[in-house]
Amino acid sequence: MNAKFSLQNKGAIITGGGSGIGKAMATTFAEQGADVHILDFNADAAMELVAEINKQGFKATAHHCNVADWKAVSETVSQISKVSSIDILINNAGIAHVGNIEACKEEDLDRLYDINIKGVYNCAKACIPFMKDKSGGVILNMASIASSVGISDRFAYSMTKGAVLTMTYSIAKDYIDNNIRCNCISPARVHTPFVDGFIKKNYPGNEASMFEKLSKTQPIGRMGKPQEIADLALFLCADEASFITGSNYGIDGGYITLNSK
């Protein structure tokens, strides 16, 4: 019996794959047989994860890369193409910002644009020619519920994730005849080391109560888990999802639908 959602003989590039959601994706994809290539600005985290994956008998490689730098991205993708097929790209690398438009400095906006928007552009532009050459591929972008609904004090972050959503639609439309599928995932709050660090920094001594408060902003009563996002990503990148393109998948504990009622 063939295993469902196999990624055997597929090459997958995952940006920001050294920690959090990206780490769960990289591990899951490798376990399903993919040749995983992690692009991360934090080289140490990426190499540590790769060592763990390889120790388990799966295949992964770390690449130190700033996704905001077109030259670095294009050179890295070109190097990967020499040792692996490029079947899957997951644009997961991203940064957050808390504040309304008045609290958003110009340098904050530029930094979020460079990573959250230009990073997606750079990686997709670098990978699409290789996907076209092999007559197909999958691009999965990490958007957010902030792409679709207004969230207080998330001006710059929402702006960038709105762009990710519309880039997804555009790429799906433009490359459907090349058999390149493009979708995005829009999570609500997910429990990652970033969340723990944010709470510790901004609410010292009140971490437990703040964690509970943030958890309850999702109607389901808790934050998402990185593995839950990774499992949805696996489905969307596997051949079983070959009829799906140009779609935005909310994974938000009922946030968008149930909060509106």
In the annotation, is 249 catalytic?
no
Beta-strand relationship, 11-15 and 88-91 = parallel
Q: Is the dihedral of CA 33, 34, 37, 40 positive or negative?
A: negative
**Cα dist. 148→40, 158, 185, 241, 249 in Å?**
27, 9, 12, 23, 11
Task: Please tell me the chain's helix, strand, coil percentages from 3-state DSSP, rounded to the nearest 5.
Answer: 50, 15, 35
Integer Cα distance of 15 and 160 in angstroms: 16
H or E element, residue 75: helix 70-81
Q: Tokens 């909310």 identify what position? A: 250
Nearest partner of 10 among 80, 88, 124, judged by Cα: 88
- C-beta atoms surrounding 13 within 10 Å: 31
Catalytic residue among 113, 121, 157, 175: 157
Closest among 8, 113, 31, 17 to 63, alpha carbons compared: 17
> Catalytic residues, which ones?
157
